[in-house]
Amino acid sequence: MSSENQDFNKSKAFLIDMTKCTGCRGCQVACKQWNQLGAEKTEFFTGEGYQNPPLMSEYTFTRIKFRDYEKNGQNEFAFYKEMCMHCNEPACASVCPVGAFKKTKEGPVTYDAERCIGCRFCMVACPFGVPKYEWSKALPLVRKCTGCYSRVKEGLKPACATTCVSAITYGNREEMIKEANKRIAARPEKYLKKLYGSEEAGGTSVIYLTALPFDELGFKPVTKRPLPSYTWQALRLVPGIFLTVGSSLSLLSWFNHRKERIAKEEEQRKSGATPKEES
């Protein structure tokens, strides 16, 4: 957890305008190329709709979800790009026992495969269901979108943002939010008047603009409070509880044993016995 006192306005963020997405899935391909991810054997309609692969996995860090709906009597497609949200205060980073996840100052949440012990707590904790596991391996590790940290720290854009011709903008988080609000104000009839990611899970580095309500596109409803705070409110009490329980039990047993010793000595004095024959 390196996120304290970090200015998230200056960290990089994705602005993904789903109304401009054409569903070409160039981002999926670019992601696989840059991250050297294997192909998956797919079949039509094994997932929810037209999209393939059916789910994100150890081989697929990002994915375009298709949703068909009717508009003015015509069939239309709406899209949703699923990927790691790179939370400002990531749940995965807070629960990882070995601190394998890190929120970088550039924005991406990185994962250190050398540290990971494979406990899968990150998968349980992530509100967006992003970290995936290498289920095929005997000694598996976790895989997830890296936010192309290796590119970003050298001043490049992430692979998917570079490839995308229309929908993905990449830049400082503050500016991305400003830009999103500008687009909503310019064409209020086109956009849903809400941003997904500006406040979700305490704010993320991926901001979505859509035309359809979020839940219809498959966005998960997520708390606005940073997730690490939920566990920290209990965990911060740990040292105090340890000292309180430890010291009060010590005191209690010291008193009780002292009482017993005094009683025993009293008894011995009365009977005049030597301490060696006590038992």
Q: Residues in the site for another protein, rule: CB under 8 A? A: 1, 55-57, 91, 93-100, 115-121, 123-125, 127, 129, 132-142, 220-223, 225, 227-228, 230-235, 238, 241-242, 245-246, 249-250, 252-254, 256-257, 260-261, 264, 275, 278-279
Residue placing its CB nearer to another protein in the complex, 194 or 264? 264
Q: Residue 90 or residue 107: which is nearer to another protein going by CB? A: 90
In angstroms, the Cα distances linking 58 to 110, 123, 140, 266 are 15, 12, 10, 73
Q: Which two tokens stand for residue 92?
A: 């995965």
Quote the CA–CA distance of 215 and 180 in Å, as a whole number: 19
Burial class (CB in 10 A: 0-12, 13-18, 19+), 50: middle
Tell me the C-alpha distance between 229 and 202, whole Å: 10
Is the peptide bond preceding residue 108 cis, with omega within 30 degrees of 0?
Answer: no
Instruction: Kindly state the smallest distance separating residue 75's Cβ from another protein, in Å.
Output: 26
Q: Of 39 and 238, which CB lies nearer to another protein in the complex structure?
A: 238
For 25, 148, 162, 219, the CA distances from 52, given in Å and listed in that order, are 10, 22, 21, 17
Nearest approach, Cβ of 31 to another protein (angstroms)? 17
Q: Smallest distance from the beta carbon of 89 to another protein, in angstroms?
A: 10
State the minimum distance, in angstroms, from the CB of residue 76 to another protein: 26
Are the beta carbons of 246 and 239 closer than 8 angstroms? Answer: no
Instruction: Decide whether 17 or 89 has the Cβ nearer to another protein.
Output: 89
Distance between CA 160 and CA 63 in Å, rounded? 11
**Under 8 Å CB-to-CB from 114, ≥6 apart: which residues?**
none
Question: What's the one-letter identity of residue 181?
Answer: N
Q: Provide, rounded to whole angstroms, the least separation between the CB of residue 37 and another protein.
A: 15
Nearest-approach distance from CB 216 to another protein, in angstroms = 17
Q: Closer CB to another protein, residue 156 or residue 237?
A: 237
Residue number, 4 or 70, with CB nearest to another protein = 4
Question: In this structure, are residues 173 and 193 in contact, taking their beta carbons and an 8 Å threshold?
Answer: no
- Which CB atom, from 65 or from 183, has the smaller least distance to another protein? 65
> Please, what is the minimum distance in Å from the beta carbon of residue 220 to another protein?
8
Partners of 169 in the β-ladder? 15
